[in-house]
Structure 1
């Protein structure tokens, strides 16, 4: 039995269908932001509401709807949940062995100012991880690092989510951009150029915005030189790489340039007033004494390198895992002649499972009447979480950690994030049900009817898609064709519309239920997802508005910016 997606299923009306499709989203916001439910309860109930509406209102067969939810839940575990488990585990290893104290000291030796630390770790280091891996790893690792440095967990999670705005469109070696080429026929290089003429404006602004959120306008001005070095170096590199190299390297190169530029700059400049959080100010005498003691402690270069080695190894593994040729081998699809990669390919093939989803595979027909494939994508070796776990195993030997402590720490990690994992699986299940039922596309079609104002609302499609799916890649796959067709019909350049979808999507990442759950899991805020959502939602809408204005101006006044 097949199911034909119907975007006017409710009363043969697009408007009524869109209103019904909005119900799970509005409920989720209400559950977290107003009712203050625990994340896993909000996630499970949102999924159940979406399931009922898909079956009753959008006429999805019961079995098909349920199995689409299982497909989403499995994806929530692998790769997303697996990344969180491995990331938090690696961080916990550094804490248990005492090496995080050395990491903290090394960061403090660059600067004790919390504002600069946020720029270094949340913005630059987080962007590097986004470029190399994506899928939650940047927020999980950088937020855990900030908490270890003494940041308030809610602040750490919120700042890392907001900082993650700048690099998301080029995340995971440019996958969000390249994913649109096959769907639209427009070269990924052209889309990359256009995104690279939008996001640099945001990349310059985000470092200032981060510090402004932390301390207000006046104290942000005190570190404006550092903010400019961080943001401008990132934005210039992002523009140059996206326009002249393609979509694969903008994040990695921009992040490295920004990170090293700011670290070197801090050797020659320090703010007049060192900023610490209010809780630290209350213990001024103790903090001062501790600060003095920090300078008295001396760690050798070897000790510092050893303490940072887990994250250096992590970076190497994740970068390797993200390399296109290696990724093919890790998932069993390599067809080259390299002997080592052929061995890896054999292992990857044995550890890659793609079983069809019962009652769902090729049972759902899209608007064109074509069947939609549905498989459980279980790439055990190729998953980024496996790369992080291998980094943890190497770290175990470097730190000379016993196998007993290794497994005890892993067990504690699993116990620590069990509820966030439930949250992640349930919200991804909701996203899959919404996609199969056609609820997400229905909402997109309503926005596409804005006519001459479509250039302004075009980024909202991407924002909506990322909020629901948790992925800029998924949002681009979901709405790319709709953006292209609608843009052509209203006289907007399709390349600009596709770029707007991706650029708008990055601003929705910080409020995506998946991202919220990942961030809370990383910093030990399980059950407090509602607080984090309330922290990020206003910033998400504000940054979306900026992208909407940029897109509208590029479509009407600044048309010379379109490649």
Structure 2
């Protein structure tokens, strides 16, 4: 039985040349997407083919192992990723089919002071951040994109808005799993890593609401509603810093989202942004209803908000509840761990032990997708029983039928996600991804500046900050130790860099495109978000470099 061990200098014995060749699959994807203007799933399949060929011909991985690596990635892409996203879309569709979404729109209209720009920020940034804190894995983008588009924001603008909003919360997403992963793999205290991330991510958080205003309404939006952006961004950033440093890094995003939402509500009781009516007119929306003050009874408000109260409650129990019974532990105990055939036996580390990533976990009950399904069933029952004389009656059969409708609607996005995850696994198992990281780490002292790039790259490839930390945490730790830099700083930098890489991930692009019904136009979304991703990455790189030198006092 032939064993395979990935090396980082497989091409000509050179780390630099290996890193250059390893970039071929990624270059293939973006060239196909932008230059050839192929659809995302076609681009992803082309990049996957390139990754298999590079693994086989350049990195010396047996062809059958390269192909089997891709099958494990495809399985992970199908479940839990695609499962989560289908459930997220289905969950939103329940509110539409029940007729409650119009009430939800009017409720956010009240909360946002009648200004669609503020509503969009509250939904994408605050509410989306809360979903990221509890679920992650694409659910926030899928849910908030559909909500914002339903408010009247154009599809492309809605997609770009939610992708930009899904940045600062990502570091602490899904109960800070990315940070916990980094600590577990390196033996460092994840609470300390989280505290450092809490001194980096807030700088992005403060900027994001201003960027969202610019995307939504340009200079006019900034001029009219800058105070709301400032209050939302600063309150989120301060709460993020406080919770990560002094309270709980796992609950950081939950605290930050609730604080920023509360701060916005208090602000809007005493202040109203200008230009709200003119913005609606520019979108071609009616402007008389909200101003007329048509009564919206409290019961309708609560029923409109019910789905999102339920989803927060279900995730809170499934992820946090430990009183009397440890629910998260009980759910995790049902996970089925399956050593991937052949891969788990033939791909080994330099020490000759099987690699950790060769085990596929089928989290059928603990998956966020299953929790969304449970929340959806609760909502469907509630909307069936409390239909106010049949006006909002949904019906269980109608609700369940929408699952197939949502699955069929995102079939091409699902293919893209499956192909991208297959690509990521081939690149990871063959050594392509790590070879790029090792080369960057070899650049010496300047690596403090470049370290966030690894997190950015890893998240862009996999669509997950957790996966980026799994890929590069040990590398960051070793490079920092050799360079005389605090390892926790670079572990935090990997996490913070990843948050601005998620928006350009093919997985995220496919999810956003599907949510706003722009399937096949992922390249248009990518061109809009790429400059923002690179600009924010530069800010994080500069911040980390300064924290490793003149701003070292900032590190807790």
Contact 1:520 1:526 in 2 (8 A): yes
Provide the residue aligned with 2:431 in structure 1: 438
Question: Which segment drifts farther, 137-146 or 219-228?
Answer: 219-228
Alpha-carbon distance between aligned partners in 2 of 1:475 and 1:276, rounded to the nearest angstrom: 43
Structure-2 separation of matches of 1:298 and 1:49: 59
Any conservation in 2 of the 1:7–1:438 contact (CA below 8 Å)? Answer: yes
Q: In 2, distance between residues paired with 1:408 and 1:190? A: 47
- Which residue among 396, 406, 409 is the counterpart of 1:416? 409
Corresponding residue number in structure 1 for 2:366: 382
Deviation at 1:282, TM superposition (A): 6.8
Q: Is the 8 A contact 2:30 2:43 kept in 1?
A: no
Q: Secondary structure at the match of 1:496?
A: helix
Kindly state the Cα deviation for residue 27 of structure 1 after the two structures are TM-superposed: 1.1
CA RMSD of aligned residues (A): 1.6
Counterpart secondary structure, 1:134: coil
Instruction: Give the distance between the partners of 1:221 and 1:450, measured in 2 at CA.
Output: 43
Give the Cα separation in 2 of the matches to 1:101 and 1:403: 21
Instruction: Please list, as runs of the form range in 1=range in 2, the aligned pairs for 1:40-119 lying within 5 A after superposition.
Output: 40-110=41-111, 111-119=113-121
Range with greater deviation from structure 2 (54-63 or 364-373): 364-373
How far did residue 271 of structure 1 move? 1.2
Could you tell me whether the CA contact under 8 Å between 2:381 and 2:396 is conserved in 1? no
Determine helix, strand or coil for the equivalent of 1:556.
coil
Q: Distance in 2 between matches of 1:298 and 1:132?
A: 33
Residues 1:366 and 2:365 aligned together: no
Contact 1:165–1:509 under 8 Å retained in 2: yes
Note the 1:230-269 alignment, pairs <5 A: 230-269=232-271
The alpha carbon displacement at 1:412 in A equals 1.4
CA contact (8 A) 2:383 2:395 kept: no
Query: Which secondary structure state, in structure 1, belongs to the residue aligned with residue 339 of structure 2?
Result: coil
Please name the residue that 1:483 is paired with: 476
**Which stretch of structure 1 is more off in the superposition, 147-156 or 96-105?**
147-156
Checking the alignment, whether the CA contact within 8 Å between 1:321 and 1:387 is kept in structure 2 is yes
Asked whether 1:301 is paired with 2:298, we answer yes
**What is the CA–CA distance in structure 2 between the aligned matches of 1:200 and 1:225, rounded to whole Å?**
17
TM (norm. structure 1) is 0.93
How big is the shift at 1:321?
A: 2.1
- Specify the alignment match of 1:345 in structure 2: none
CA contact (8 A) 2:410 2:514 kept: yes
**Structure 2 CA distance, aligned partners of 1:441 and 1:369?**
18
Per-residue CA distance 1:79-107 (angstroms, 9 max, x = gap): 11111111101111111111101101111
Q: Could you tell me how far 1:425 is from its partner in structure 2?
A: 0.6
Aligned to 1:397: 381
Aligned counterpart, 2:223: 221
Is contact 1:451-1:490 (8 Å) kept? yes
Q: Contact 1:178 / 1:247 at 8 angstroms: preserved in 2?
A: no
| Structure 2, unaligned runs of 5 or more | 385-393
SS at match of 1:377: strand
Give distance in 2, aligned partners of 1:438 and 1:387: 35
Report the equivalent of 1:321.
318
Question: Is the 1:4–1:364 contact (alpha carbons within 8 Å) kept by the matching residues of 2?
Answer: yes
Relative to structure 1, is the Cα distance of residues 405 and 20 closer, same or farther in structure 2, using a 3 angstrom cutoff? same
Which residue number in structure 1 is paired with residue 388 of structure 2?
none
Q: Runs of 4+ in structure 1 displaced over 6 angstroms?
A: none
Shift of 1:447: 0.9
* Structure 1 residues not aligned, in runs of 5+: 333-348
| TM-score normalised per structure 2 | 0.94
